[in-house]
Amino acid sequence: MFRAKIGIRPIIDGRWGGVREGLEEKTGAMAKAAKALIEANVFYSDGTPFECVISPCTIGGGAEAAKCAEFFSTQNVCATLSVTPCWCYGSETMDMDPLTIKAVWGFNGTERPGAVYLAAVMAAHAQKGLPAFSIYGRDVQDLNDNSIPADVEEKILRFARAAAAVGQIKGKSYVGIGAVSMGIAGSICDAAFMQKYLGLRAEWVDMSEVTRRVEFNIFDHEEFEKALAWAKKNCKEGYDKNAKQKPRDRKDWEWEFVIKMTLICRDILIGNEKLNAVCATDEASIRSGISDGWHEEALGRNAILGGFQGQRQWTDFMPNCDFTEAILNSSFDWNGKKEPLIFATENDGLNGLAMLAGKLLTGTASVFADVRTYWSPEAVERVTGVKPDGLAAGGFIHLINSGAAALDATGMSKDTGGNAVIKKWWDVNNKDIEAMLSVTEWCPADTGYFRGGGYSSQFKTRAQMPVTMIRFNLVDGIGPVLQLAEGYTVILPDEIHNKLDKRTDPTWPTTWFVPNTNEKCAFKDVYSVMANWGANHGSLTYGHIGKDLITLASMLRIPVAMHNVPDEAIYRPHAWAAFGTGDLESADYRACNTYGPLYR
């Protein structure tokens, strides 16, 4: 199937005999300008420009709307942007497909009433239950001005980024390897939610599939040798905290196992053509009936994300999945830079979806973590003798988990100005990779948690960076909700960091996070953010992307339960205003409840 695309619909006054003919050039110019803008700034997850297609005709009435819809049906169009400089016939020209995300750009000019059409078609969208985003420039333009004003550009791109994410998710799969980890509700996979709200297929694979593939050697042997050599050269073994340490030969076996597990979990999710040529051993052939290559395994499961249960039925006797999760989620591996493959610790699919949203909106690696501890300044001073200052003066949140975080969270990548960033994965270079690896150690797993061993990444985030913490939750009686908190990673003095980090686990990766606070109840201070967070896990994405997440959530009809984005920056479908403008959070809940899941 074609990859998802955005369809541009040039809408025109249908009156022939001078009116329509005089508007063809301007209408076409708006469509071409929108296409160029989106394709220069919005990307598929593989880093290539997100494709737009323009209707084969301008649309002056129902016949041409149908011709456009027929063409778009052959192009896997997930969203439409209608553009017009003039009055047109609202319900006759609007996009009526209930499954496309919709926006309309009405040109702000005086010669022809584009604003009047925009208002009329927004009313039609609201009346027909087909919500659409309204785009209208603040300043009047001349008719021959084909530039896109900055405020219009911002709305088009926010619409396009979020719509591109929706389109890339639809039709893909979430593959949960294992079941529910330690009673964590986020790892209870709700297939109906994924299907109705996201268009995702939920699939389950037992963890024994990993042991089968290891035992039968169902992986690319050449890549395994390459990965093993790379790990020996680049993955420094770190501090072993265990009182009873394992012999070297056992540690070496665990290294080999976790590398095989990484290849195998990746192949389960997205497939690997090379498995077609991996011949079964005699024993594997006898036990499986396969002799000429692992063709079914080569297909994969069409996954866009997955998760691994691990604790405890796996980790009580087998090496943990920390190395696998860290490498799959990072922007590189032994083959160099690569697209992060979202792989959720403890099979927490809801946190995996938060990671996926961040990745699709930004092109950067997402960071999985426990939202572990709020440290008040008073508690910090009591424990360390030092009072935190700067951004950390009001306290901070310790984000830490057992070595499964993407290595991009080290903060060691630098932009052209020398600033610490998490780069779009396609911009990562060898210098960045070397820098990230240089500050990461791989500590033998704490056998108090992981009896079967394994290796956990250990690093600290070494830069102050803008980030957004994200989480989807399911609430009985409401359905899915989104939480987000924009803020910054912070660097603590060693005399604070070392004492606090060692109280938790010095063999795991640490990020210290300070959310931006404001007058809202959940954000009046750092403690309130921790207290109102809806689950034990959260995902970090580079940048302050809250406004994009809010737009994305409105497309999926998922209300936002908690955010610290200014009201004036919020951009949702025009019909949301009909549910109230005084309390945007309440209006969002009622609108999402009224319209229901996108794919119901």
Question: For residue 428, what are the CA distances in angstroms to 201, 376, 420, 544?
Answer: 31, 36, 12, 20
Told to judge if 154 belongs to the known catalytic residues of this protein, a careful annotator would answer no
Told to judge if 333 belongs to the known catalytic residues of this protein, a careful annotator would answer no
* Active-site residue identified among 348, 370, 432, 548: 370
User: What letter represents residue 485's amino acid?
Assistant: A
- For the chain, the first-to-last Cα distance in angstroms comes to 22
User: Phi, psi at residue 564, to the nearest 5°?
Assistant: -125, 35
Place of tokens 């572990």: 372
Apex CA 539: angle with CA 537 and CA 543, to 5°? 150
Helices (H) and strands (E) in the chain, counts: 19, 23
Six token digits for residue 293:
């290559």
Length of the chain measured in residues: 600
Buried b (16+ CB within 10 A) or exposed e, 195-228: ebbbbbbbbebebebbebbbebbbbbeebbeebb
How many CA atoms lie less than 13 Å away from 105 in the CB half-sphere? 28
> Do 20 and 36 meet the contact criterion of CB atoms below 8 Å apart?
no
Instruction: Compute the distance between CA of residue 276 and CA of residue 287 in angstroms, rounded to an integer.
Output: 18
CA-nearest of 166, 506, 539, 479 to 348 is: 539
Place of tokens 């059409």: 117
Cβ-based burial of 20 (10 A; exposed 0-12, middle 13-18, buried ≥19): middle
- Reported as type and span, the H/E element at residue 255 is helix 248-270
> Do 300 and 239 meet the contact criterion of CB atoms below 8 Å apart?
no
Instruction: Compute the distance between CA of residue 4 and CA of residue 162 in angstroms, rounded to an integer.
Output: 12
Please confirm whether the linkage preceding 3 is cis (ω < 30° from 0): no
Six token digits for residue 600:
């119901």
Instruction: Compute the distance between CA of residue 58 and CA of residue 9 in angstroms, rounded to an integer.
Output: 7
* Active-site residue identified among 346, 348, 501, 588: 346
Three state DSSP letters for 421-469? ECCEHHHCCHHHHHHHHHCCEEEECCCCCCCCCCEEEECECCCCCEEEE
Residues marked active site are found at: 346, 370
